[in-house]
Structure 1
């Protein structure tokens, strides 16, 4: 039986609702998302009380969220409140009023729990081993030292983009003196963290400020993809952005491409925190994670239901198999093709001058090469390519995901029409295209060897001579259809390599 899970994250600056459907076969998919600015912590620093205007805004938004949950017939609502609520002396009273008005119970979580959820959301959706992970919100900043994908150190700092903006009065243009005071304050606070210094690790950013940095960088660089998660930018690019934005008035910042109007007044404070993390950590890279507390809550729930630990061993394997289940293609055929493709890669790697890092691209393309059938069987390879390109596949760079799409799109034969795709051409150079053609050839061989989708070919090995590639097949029974399909690719093989195709059973 399908389940619909709603997750509400009531933050200091904004509130978000996501609804995820979990299907009977274990697949899951995001079906609704809503985000609005709420500024719950606005003016709360003075007496540590939530202000009436802020509570009214939050209550109206939560009523809207509840209404959407009713429309989508959700089975369960998981709701958390962060810094604004835990720091306010009347936070508990507000939560009681929310429960009376909406029926939703909001759990006020500690900074440590918030950091853990952000960590789970990011580490389960990124191919990152060691990093400094920061979750920069409106009222707090959570820092996590990640080593070997595990959270080793965690701390919650009691300030964020909204509270620092109000404290240093930098809603409009910040003077040099104000910036100096802001940077000095953050520097002193970070210096109190004994484990955060000269780690030379990449930063992984969660939260609205991190997303804004990614969006502004993408606009500045004319980035062709509308995809933020796992976008990477350098320390040099960030400091250039910092220099530009800090010279602007709030009105000027509202016109910056990639920066939303409701964040223009608080962006300088947010950037200042990131700047200090860059400088103290001597990091050279920032990785943007669009997955955070909400996804962490989901994974915590979903994985507990399936009896797994909270840490997914491989985000790429997990997300690929989730996609395979979601599109309900022939999983036995897909997995068998992937197995044969892996055997071919091992034998052909040297002959085709392939790199070990190319193997995951072939595996993803092999597992998902038939997903396009759910759109239309005819030209399904092209549909598969589109679905892979736009899927929530975790663990691949944006370029690698596009390469996997091209490989799947070519699993019958290479097509020149992909080279006309502007996005593909902006990401892939001549070497990438050549690699994709070679991997697509191996995928075509692997799929041909399971033409009947009966798993008749148990094993394939390749023996090379000067002019010949001999495929040795271990089979359960006669495979006339597989042999016929395989021989159709002999000309393709000859074009790509110097080899003629030879087959023995």
Structure 2
């Protein structure tokens, strides 16, 4: 697969460009993202679906600009897909031919099921989910996929879109209650076509409408982490908020904490979203910042892996290690470091008593413990924290992202950064558990840095942690001696710390 791949997604409302760079077989990251609200479908739904000149002109100029960006970034491969506005338009094929002739860009028009499939590929790999129903509300259609046991089970596309509803109902001179009533009836008729097995308690929100609503809910509930991907909320708890948006006038939308650039279609999108949530029986919603574009990319990347990352691979961890290239990024040393942490966590369970439920986060932090040194060895723990907070995007819950990042922030003798703990406390483990995890992480780093691949074992009995090593741990001893402990206990180190005799220097032992 090409090292840099550009993906263009032409929707009814917006056109987007993303460029991904591969860092290894399974590592990749986003290096460019551009968006233009082309509204290519504007006026089409009242003209029997025909694309109108105003939308066509905006789309042409946007695509021309995208191609200049792709050239600047020297992308090796470009894939362009178009969704409902072009597939519904009788003159859509003529637009595709015209763009090919004028710009040399090949556009692939995909149907709603293919669109839903791409979204499902993206979330199935890049969200911490194994089951659920994706909901991607576009300008002309709402595309859905049912995921069961980590596999794509079925897809369906409904003729429900924000621009479609806007032009059919919300742009009419009618009272809002009447608009909502007629629009709901229209949505209900379309939802009857959805297969009966499209029922699940978890809805996966893809696309602009779902993201906009999640941002508003994050503000309302003062969510401590400013990250949209994987944000999860209870649908019933925020039902009143969601139901009031379609009933609001355009002027009063600001009270919902929504972005102004979404005012033109958010009422329509929210109404569709609410009706779908109720129809499928969703109780909670997880937000996705990935969708069709990532799905198109991953279909290429994972074509030899049954469209799924191997269970041992997390693309964010892989990409971070690829790019920041820590000094100990050698498989043997990584494994030795992980073994130290795992052994400690197991031995100390007699006091921790958490059934090692945070072992994944602990081991992720241990894997990433050296990434800050790539920037500078000074305050490297702070650099590691900021890198992780920005880059731990895929496959993690917000709780996992925060715990892993916060462990990386630990340094020296103190086990807790109090301001950070207070800021993110609602998403973190209990304080005592966090102290234990921090202790294990920090002790692991100290031992690994000083051990030179030693064989290290642990016993914990009668409030005494015994550390035995077949190599010297001299450089770690002073640090360990000063290290804060979660509870009072002794640490004894038995290692190969022998000094050869020298009579001239007065050394006899």
Same fold, judged at TM 0.5 (above) = yes
Helix, strand or coil at the partner of 2:258: coil
Tell me the distance in 2 between the aligned counterparts of 1:144 and 1:486. 55
Q: 1:467 and 2:463 equivalent?
A: yes
Q: CA RMSD in A?
A: 2.5
Which residue in 1 is equivalent to 2:309? Answer: 312
Contact (CA 8 Å) 1:10, 1:16: kept in 2 or not? yes
Helix, strand or coil at the partner of 2:406: helix
Tell me the distance in 1 between the aligned counterparts of 2:41 and 2:88. 9
Instruction: Within 5 Å, give how 1:167-186 maps onto structure 2.
Output: 167-170=168-171, 175-186=176-187
Helix, strand or coil at the partner of 2:201: coil
Tell me the distance in 1 between the aligned counterparts of 2:468 and 2:174. 71
Gaps in structure 2 of 5+ consecutive residues: 496-509
Contact (CA 8 Å) 1:117, 1:293: kept in 2 or not? yes
- State the TM-score, normalized to the length of structure 1: 0.90
Helix, strand or coil at the partner of 1:291: coil
Helix, strand or coil at the partner of 1:258: coil
Instruction: Within 5 Å, give how 1:392-407 maps onto structure 2.
Output: 392-407=392-407
Instruction: Within 5 Å, give how 1:196-211 maps onto structure 2.
Output: 196=197, 199-211=199-211
Contact (CA 8 Å) 1:215, 1:228: kept in 2 or not? yes
* Alpha-carbon shift at residue 299 of structure 1 (Å): 1.2
Which residue in 2 is equivalent to 1:223? Answer: 223
Tell me the distance in 2 between the aligned counterparts of 1:171 and 1:230. 37
Which residue in 1 is equivalent to 2:499? Answer: none
Q: What's the CA shift string for 1:15-55, capped at 9, x where partnerless?
A: 11011122367632211111121111122123121111111
* Alpha-carbon shift at residue 486 of structure 1 (Å): 4.8
**More displaced stretch, 218-227 vs 383-392:** 218-227
* Alpha-carbon shift at residue 117 of structure 1 (Å): 0.6
Q: 1:500 and 2:490 equivalent?
A: yes
* Alpha-carbon shift at residue 211 of structure 1 (Å): 0.8
Q: 1:152 and 2:150 equivalent?
A: no
Q: What's the CA shift string for 1:115-155, capped at 9, x where partnerless?
A: 11101111111111111111111111111111111111211
Change (3 A) 1:26 1:2: farther
Tell me the distance in 1 between the aligned counterparts of 2:73 and 2:38. 23
* Alpha-carbon shift at residue 361 of structure 1 (Å): 1.1
Change (3 A) 1:171 1:104: farther
* Alpha-carbon shift at residue 282 of structure 1 (Å): 2.4
* Alpha-carbon shift at residue 491 of structure 1 (Å): 4.8
* Alpha-carbon shift at residue 445 of structure 1 (Å): 2.4
* Alpha-carbon shift at residue 157 of structure 1 (Å): 0.9
Tell me the distance in 1 between the aligned counterparts of 2:15 and 2:342. 45
Instruction: Within 5 Å, give how 1:419-458 maps onto structure 2.
Output: 419-421=418-420, 424-428=421-425, 431-452=429-450, 454-457=452-455
Helix, strand or coil at the partner of 2:314: helix
* Alpha-carbon shift at residue 487 of structure 1 (Å): 5.8
Tell me the distance in 1 between the aligned counterparts of 2:481 and 2:228. 41
Instruction: Within 5 Å, give how 1:44-443 maps onto structure 2.
Output: 44-45=44-45, 46-170=47-171, 175-196=176-197, 199-253=199-253, 256-261=256-261, 263-304=262-303, 307-314=304-311, 317-329=314-326, 330-332=328-330, 333-414=333-414, 418-421=417-420, 424-428=421-425, 431-443=429-441
Contact (CA 8 Å) 2:2, 2:77: kept in 1 or not? no
Helix, strand or coil at the partner of 1:79: strand
Contact (CA 8 Å) 2:450, 2:476: kept in 1 or not? no
Tell me the distance in 2 between the aligned counterparts of 1:171 and 1:204. 31
* Alpha-carbon shift at residue 112 of structure 1 (Å): 1.4
Contact (CA 8 Å) 1:49, 1:88: kept in 2 or not? yes
Contact (CA 8 Å) 1:399, 1:427: kept in 2 or not? no
Q: What's the CA shift string for 1:86-137, capped at 9, x where partnerless?
A: 1111111101111122221111112111111101111111111111111111
Tell me the distance in 2 between the aligned counterparts of 1:107 and 1:431. 47
Which residue in 1 is equivalent to 2:479? Answer: 488
**More displaced stretch, 145-154 vs 239-248:** 239-248
Q: What's the CA shift string for 1:272-293, capped at 9, x where partnerless?
A: 1211122122222111101001
Q: Which protein has the larger Cα radius of gyration, Structure 1 or Structure 2?
A: 2
* Alpha-carbon shift at residue 496 of structure 1 (Å): 1.6
Contact (CA 8 Å) 1:6, 1:17: kept in 2 or not? yes
Contact (CA 8 Å) 1:253, 1:259: kept in 2 or not? no
* Alpha-carbon shift at residue 191 of structure 1 (Å): 2.7
Gaps in structure 1 of 5+ consecutive residues: none
Helix, strand or coil at the partner of 2:223: coil
Q: What's the CA shift string for 1:315-345, capped at 9, x where partnerless?
A: 9733212211121112124443123212222
